[in-house]
Structure 1
């Protein structure tokens, strides 16, 4: 299958990239993690004005994938998968402002519920936001909400398969974007960092490790395109993109060394995001099991 964006899609991708490249997305992400939602909400409005929140209802999954790859590449904070992928389809309408959702078993806690204008359990609105929980990604602020009890039972949740699959596709695309950013930053770093009088990027072991990441991302991206066109199951895209992005994260950390762990170094934002998204909207085991069930049914 040969996938090529049409002119309108290329223009949308270019406009989105121009907006995000000119915004301080890293600063917004850091502020969001520290509890200051101001910069992130200002960016949210600019993206909403560009039409990102209406893609699920007014465009196609291809445009959704384009948008979320860009969001991942620029580590944009906020419950975008919930607001721009799952809820518009589950509710049958574009959401107003910022919206989030809890949906067991795959989304047990509501992301950024403290700043959301609308909070749901499944497709049912809730009014109570409870305590904040810790996430491996500091920019993903998870909250317990009323409607999901401590034993994991859900009241009023009616998962939508179509909405869930679009959210899974969005998550896969965001993983690809984040993985691409980690690879690009890692390639830049190894060309600058010297050891024993040579750039570390000149060593074969590092070249091969980065080449493996390049191959993994290139093999995963067509599955995103295929899922967006309805030719591939979204679970296949999620598994492949999760594996590729996680490889990018591991390799990026290895070539950067211990500095990659530090909160002061920007790479840590993408490492945390990838680690969180790998298991968000269904773990790899869940999606592999889903694919096996489909193969067995044929």
Structure 2
């Protein structure tokens, strides 16, 4: 099967990328990490006007993946997966298009700016009360403990979780692509012994490995978007997390010590990738579930 985007999907992806490219998302990410939400909230409003917060309810999972790949590529701050992928399916009778809501899995992301906070406990969605903030590997992801309150009717909880996991996979794919692009640009500029380090075979091979890993992840992500099942979503999250992690490791290696510093923009993506690897299920947990499910289907 040959999968290609429609003209409308290509146009949407281009419009979203153009908006994010002009928005200085890295500055918004840094400000968000420092507790200044204003630039990020302005960006949120612009993306909401473009329809990103309505995609889960009104469009297909393909458009959701296109949006979250762009969000990952531009490291936009905010509880996007929770507000724009999970809750619109978990609460189908609630209009969340003009609000910022979040859900604890197990911690509530950016509950300090959320209009509504929920949590999942005992297989059911609940309203939640926000507690203490906990540390996150990504300072632009503000995590909070919550206490479950009144239960909320949520008939599509499993489907919502699958779409949120798929959105996380797409965001990892976008972040990995950005790290690879920046790494390729950097090795063309940095010189050692009088020649660009990108001319050395060892560097070329490492970057090629990242390219291959991302190219293997992409069809799994968008294949899952064509028919969202627990199996396809688990495979997409595993491959995209592994590919993005490889991109981060190689990107850090070719940049050297500068890539790890807070002052250098690359660190924004390295930390986001690290945080997203375990969000909505780690690769290890998805592998364990997938293996058990495949074995069970053969018995």
TM-score (norm 1): 0.93
- On the 8 A contact 1:53/1:94 being kept in 2, the answer is no
- On the 8 A contact 2:168/2:237 being kept in 1, the answer is yes
C-alpha distance after superposition, 1:168-222 (max 9, x if no partner): 1000000000000000000000000011111000000000000000000000000
Of 72, 95, 100, the match for 2:102: 100
Q: What SS class does the counterpart of residue 77 from structure 2 fall into?
A: coil
Q: Report how far residue 79 of structure 1 moved.
A: 0.3
Question: Is 1:117 aligned with 2:115?
Answer: yes
Q: Report how far residue 124 of structure 1 moved.
A: 2.2
Unaligned runs of 5+ in 1: 149-154
TM-score (norm 2): 0.93
Aligned 1:180-259 pairs, distance under 5 A: 180-230=177-227, 233-259=232-258
Q: 2:295 and 2:88 mapped to 1: Cα distance?
A: 32
Q: 2:95 and 2:250 mapped to 1: Cα distance?
A: 38
- On the 8 A contact 1:28/1:40 being kept in 2, the answer is yes
Matched positions, count: 287
Q: Report how far residue 293 of structure 1 moved.
A: 2.3
- On the 8 A contact 2:220/2:235 being kept in 1, the answer is yes
Unaligned runs of 5+ in 2: none
Q: Which residue number corresponds to residue 151 of structure 1?
A: none
Q: What SS class does the counterpart of residue 140 from structure 2 fall into?
A: coil
Q: Report how far residue 156 of structure 1 moved.
A: 4.0
**RMSD of aligned C-alpha atoms?**
1.5
- On the 8 A contact 1:57/1:94 being kept in 2, the answer is no
- On the 8 A contact 1:121/1:156 being kept in 2, the answer is no
Q: 1:2 and 1:31 mapped to 2: Cα distance?
A: 42
Q: Which residue number corresponds to residue 152 of structure 1?
A: none
